[in-house]
């Protein structure tokens, strides 16, 4: 495992990352909401990349993991810009973006901002537009009024917050209402037993992408995390088989 280092942005924020040098395209893992680069899928990708001699980049968004900042200040736009800054600083050539859950939305935003550098996309229970389809009308009204919402967290002891800043920025970044102008290869992995992101969303995303090279793999018994040994093995095979 490579050691954690820090990239300092223009405003002084220090973004934690791990980088393994190697051949390209570089594998760039984007964690989900309130997740970080210490997760099982991220570390498995880094270990596999190191064994294959592939370049790999992991990072923590500001307010997450080892990075500076307050999670309440986070937004898709803010985290997208952090990812772009780390890619520019660490990856000289093309990149494969691997997005887990919210990271799947973020990988699309990063790719749209830098399409010439993105070689392929791999989504794991990708959740674009979840501020729209995942939020009730009542909760949207509360968020519009500036309230922070808290929901039970099945993955940890603390409730999951949704801050008004994050939700409003998400609503400004919706993608599924029209064509997503990306033409690179895309692979989408999704569990049909996912309680958080409907598996049908993978099909909707596949249809919205301009690319003709899009493959959707559904796991009938797969949950949201897709972090079982068999799930991770599938992810690594998917990375290995990319054109």
Give the residue numbers marked as catalytic. Answer: 101, 194, 224
**Cβ within 8 Å of residue 93, ≥6 positions away:** 24, 25, 26, 55, 117
Please answer whether residues 109 and 131 qualify as being in contact, where contact means their C-beta atoms are separated by less than 8 angstroms: no
Radius of gyration of the chain (CA): 17
What is the Cα 239 distance to its own chain's centre? 15
**E strands within 80-204?**
95-100, 118-124, 149-151, 160-162, 186-191
How do strand 23-30 and strand 95-100 relate by DSSP bridges? parallel
Letter string b/e over residues 169-195, b meaning 16 or more CB atoms within 10 A of that residue's CB? bbbebebbeeebebebbbbbbbbeebe
Plot region of 225 (φ>0 → left; ψ -120 to 50 → alpha; else → beta): alpha
- C-alpha 225/C-alpha 180 separation (Å) is 25
């Amino acid at each position: 495992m490579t050691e954690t280092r820090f990239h300092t942005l223009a405003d002084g924020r220090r973004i934690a990352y791990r980088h393994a040098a190697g051949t390209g395209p570089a594998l760039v893992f984007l964690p989900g909401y309130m997740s970080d680069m210490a997760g099982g899928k991220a570390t498995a990708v880094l270990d596999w990349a190191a064994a294959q001699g592939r370049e790999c980049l992991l990072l923590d968004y500001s307010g997450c993991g080892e990075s500076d900042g307050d999670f309440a200040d986070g937004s898709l736009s803010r985290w997208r810009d952090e990812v772009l800054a780390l890619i520019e600083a660490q990856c000289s050539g093309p990149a494969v973006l691997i997005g887990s859950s919210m990271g799947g939305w973020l990988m699309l935003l990063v790719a749209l901002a830098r399409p010439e550098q993105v070689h392929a996309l791999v989504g794991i229970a990708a959740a674009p537009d979840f501020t729209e389809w995942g939020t009730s009308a009542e909760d949207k009204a509360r968020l519009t009024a500036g309230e922070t919402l808290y929901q039970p967290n099945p993955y940890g002891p603390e409730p999951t917050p949704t801050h008004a800043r994050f939700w409003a920025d998400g609503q400004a970044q919706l993608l599924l209402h029209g064509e997503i102008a990306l033409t690179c290869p895309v692979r989408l992995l999704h569990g049909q037993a996912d309680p958080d992101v409907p598996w049908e969303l993978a099909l909707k995303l596949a249809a919205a992408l301009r690319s003709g090279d899009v493959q959707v793999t559904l796991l009938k018994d797969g949950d949201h995390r897709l972090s079982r040994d068999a799930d991770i093995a599938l992810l690594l095979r998917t990375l290995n088989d990319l054109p």
